[in-house]
Amino acid sequence: MPASLNEIKVRIASTKKTSQITGAMQMVSAAKLTRSEQNAKNFQVYAQKVRAMTTDLIGSELSEGSNNPMLIKRPVKKTGYIVITSDKGLVGGYNSTILKSVMQMLADDHDNQEEYVIIALGGMGADFFKARDINVSYELRGLSDQPTFDEVRKIVNKSVSLYQNELFDELYVCYNHHVNSLTSQVRVEKMLPITDLDENEATSHHQEFELEPDRDIILEQLLPQYAESMIYGSIIDAKTAEHAAGMAAMQAATDNAKNVINDLTIQYNRARQAAITQEITEIVAGASALE
């Protein structure tokens, strides 16, 4: 049954309101993206310095043999995964992409759930894994749009502490890497143990540091900070990708709303034209009947 003119007008009005909301959300996401990209750029300066120092110290330490637990490969009995998602939707395929990739990886690399544990950063991921009875040892929700290290310190410290206490024997971070405003890539990066070093990179970063106190004591303090900084960098990267996905999703929603409004406007004009034609026909018929 064709919709009445009033029904079409109501649908046009409600769709316009939706378009205004999604348009505003798109602009908000764009502003967040710009700020997040700048934060990620600024963090890279610090990360490069920490990596240069750590690479130099670790290169010498590994060549001499080390007893530091963060540098020693243990037999892998259980693997830890930090999975970064958003707390809510309205970000297109951002969450589904990373969660689908993680589930595929778990199915390929493990025989049962006893071989891994999930550390969930973001409500969507935590709820997803819990709904499937997957062990979530720790979760963090409610991160701000521009997270500071103080906000994520708890989960970062917890992850490093769990590794040092041998509750799992290796740690990976799974997240969406921000490429540009339209593209992101799933990344799974090994964070612990810190052993996969490129000798060429170590050579390029090599600097003569004057060490006080000795190397072992410095590494004992530096390695947890290095791991924490790398995890924090992944979180910033993932947040940037989240804002980009939100902006793209709201842009698509706004464009779809405009298309719907155009279609409804055409439908309204046709229905109005048909109603006018019908009224003219009835008037002409009435006038003819009076003759």
Give start and end residues of each alpha helix (H) in 4-112. 5-64, 94-109
280, two tokens: 């003219």
- The rounded percent of the chain whose pLDDT value lies above 90 is 20
- The rounded percent of the chain whose pLDDT value lies above 70 is 88
Q: What is the pLDDT of residue 204?
A: 47
User: In this predicted model, what pLDDT tens digit does every residue of 137-147 receive, in sequence order?
Assistant: 888 888 888 88
Collapsing DSSP states into helix, strand and coil, what is residue 178?
A: strand
The closest alpha carbon to 85, from 242, 236, 244, 243, belongs to: 242
Stretch 258-277: mean pLDDT, rounded? Answer: 87
Pairwise pLDDT comparison (149 vs 85), residue with the higher score: 85
The amino acid that residue 236 corresponds to is: I
> CA angle 167-152-177, nearest 5°?
90
Stretch 77-89: mean pLDDT, rounded? Answer: 90
Q: What is the reported pTM? A: 0.80
- Residue 87 DSSP code: S
158, two tokens: 């917890």
Q: What is the pLDDT of residue 270?
A: 87
Report residue 277's pLDDT band, with 50, 70 and 90 as the boundaries.
confident
23-27, 36-40, 57-61, 183-187: least confident range: 57-61
Q: What is the pLDDT of residue 92?
A: 85
Strand partners, 81: 118, 172
User: In this predicted model, what pLDDT tens digit does every residue of 211-248 receive, in sequence order?
Assistant: 666 677 777 777 777 877 888 888 899 999 999 999 99
Evaluate if residue 127 carries a pLDDT over 60: yes
> How many angstroms from the chain centroid is the CA of residue 57?
32
17, two tokens: 């309101």
Evaluate if residue 59 carries a pLDDT over 70: no
User: In this predicted model, what pLDDT tens digit does every residue of 17-47 receive, in sequence order?
Assistant: 999 999 999 899 899 888 888 888 888 888 8
Report residue 202's pLDDT band, with 50, 70 and 90 as the boundaries.
very low
Q: What is the pLDDT of residue 63?
A: 44
45, two tokens: 């300066």
